[in-house]
Amino acid sequence: MSYTVQKIKDKLSIVDVVSQYVKLERNGANFRARCPFHAERTPSFFVSPDRGTYHCFGCDAGGDIFTFVEQIEGLDFKGALKILAEKAGVEIVYEHPGAGGREKKDESTRLFELLETAAIFYTSRLNEPVEKYLKERGINNETIRTFRLGLAGSAWSECSEYLRERTFTDKEIVDAGVAKLSPLGKGDKGLIDKFRNRIMFPIADSAGRIVGFSGRIFGSEAHPDAPKYLNSPETLLFRKSRVLHGFDRAKQAMRKHNCAILVEGQMDLLASNQAGWTNTVAASGTAFTPEHAALIRRIADNLVIALDPDEAGLKAAARAARTALHAGLNVKVAEASDGLDPADLIQKKGANSWRDSIREAKDIITFLLDVLEKHAKSTDQFRRSVESVVLPFLSDVSSPIARESYLREIARRLSVSESAVAEALAKVPVAREASATGASINTGDSRKERSSFARKPMDHGRAKQAYAIFLWQQSLEKPIVNINKFAKDLSEALGVEAFSVLGTLSEDEKESLRFRAESMYGKNTTLKREVEALLHVISHERLSADLREATAALKNAEVTGNEEDVAVYMSVCKLLTARIAQLHEPV
């Protein structure tokens, strides 16, 4: 696989890949942008074409094209590999270590293959009654094929047996969520299919790999008490909180329009796509989560929520809106006319009605004000509802300009002063959810005693600064400074032990330092003089630190009466004092 990875890197530059997700602007030899992994106003995300890497100084995200696609698409390495191979037009070639030339596949690879096989099985069982029902719901053959709809029949273990015949083990079938262990007397050889008497909707990850299924009840043989929809259980591959149904097909349109549409059900998703809104996704039978919001935020800035218009749907829309606001998305809510969900609206009133609902969507604050004012029985009830429902949403709005505009609108609706609304807003408790961007927070204990210069050189700002310059210059084809001399001088200034410790930093840490040095000194015309001055100061700091430690050890030896140690540390202190004095002598 290393051959495939290198071939992809040869064909795709870091700028080619990143620019498909974020707008890059030239910044010297590099490019910069607002980071797609956390909300920010000032660009702190940098891309180096020469090194093929990126780094964000705001959230510390960084890596190469594979790391970037993993982070922005929410995938594992193999998922990123699949996407990049398709972009580069490169065939994935697997290496075959071991006897007989067979590669041992890991667990996730086997499960992906199993679920793909199951999807093929369900698709092959699609029959005329299912197609007739889907057409009655307004779903055409092209949409059925595109979304790979299928059928799980009434037999207890038909899918399990099909998978067994294709060398998948019972454990793998259960682990993939396709079957479960059966009670005695049911199923075949201990397994019972998870999905029976259901229209099957495959659910894919961002790379288009099947990770699970959603099944809608269908047929006269279905149990009357069975749930209308049944989803795959949580598995190694399927995490409901991280997967948006349809995202793999919607992301290009989301990027193009800078907007995503969130619907509730599988039929809503299919109908909306068929009506031309290919930027539609569904939450796959779970609440809209911070992980879902982060996935959308990395590609688009705007979200239109179009959940079912009943009371449960409105509450779900409110929860989803608040989660999206926390992630920094601009949120609007589409109201379907006559209380119809999106699929029924499109079927009964046509695609134009759905288009009008999307285009006339209201921002979340205005939507809430309209709904509460419509249902309020008195002015006082409306006021109390605004305080308890709307103001918490207003506190989540990240833009101060938008927040002030909403504040003015609320004051107008309530016929009160803006200062009164601002005072009430200030009393709203702020309970922001943890960021889903993965930004790290420094919780180090500042009371810890500072370690030795030699053991922890990264604790010393100038040592870190000099090593960053060294790494940056070392990465250039034509460095400004003499790299060999710089390495020797830096080792002497820091001490051999400290220089060795810095060499053990991870590649991600080193790349972060390279970007920092490049951004600070990239346009510096006096770098050589700056480096000489920096090394001089580092030498003085290290010798001074060593002198302090030696002096403390000398005092301890004097207190304990250890004359041998007193003599040793007395000699060390004199030597260090002399070397510090030499640094002050004119050259």
DSSP per-residue codes, 135-146: HHTT--HHHHHH
pLDDT of residue 101: 41
Cβ-based burial of 200 (10 A; exposed 0-12, middle 13-18, buried ≥19): buried
pLDDT of residue 103: 47
pLDDT of residue 282: 94
pLDDT of residue 497: 74
pLDDT of residue 98: 47
pLDDT of residue 40: 78
pLDDT of residue 432: 44
Q: Which residues of the chain have pLDDT under 50?
A: 98-103, 187-188, 431-451, 587
pLDDT of residue 269: 95
Per-residue H/E/C for 178-244: CEEECCCCCCECCEEECCCCEEEEEEECCCCCEEEEEEEECCCCCCCCCCCEEECCCCCCCCCCCCC
pLDDT of residue 452: 52
CB 192 within 8 A of CB 170: no
pLDDT of residue 430: 59
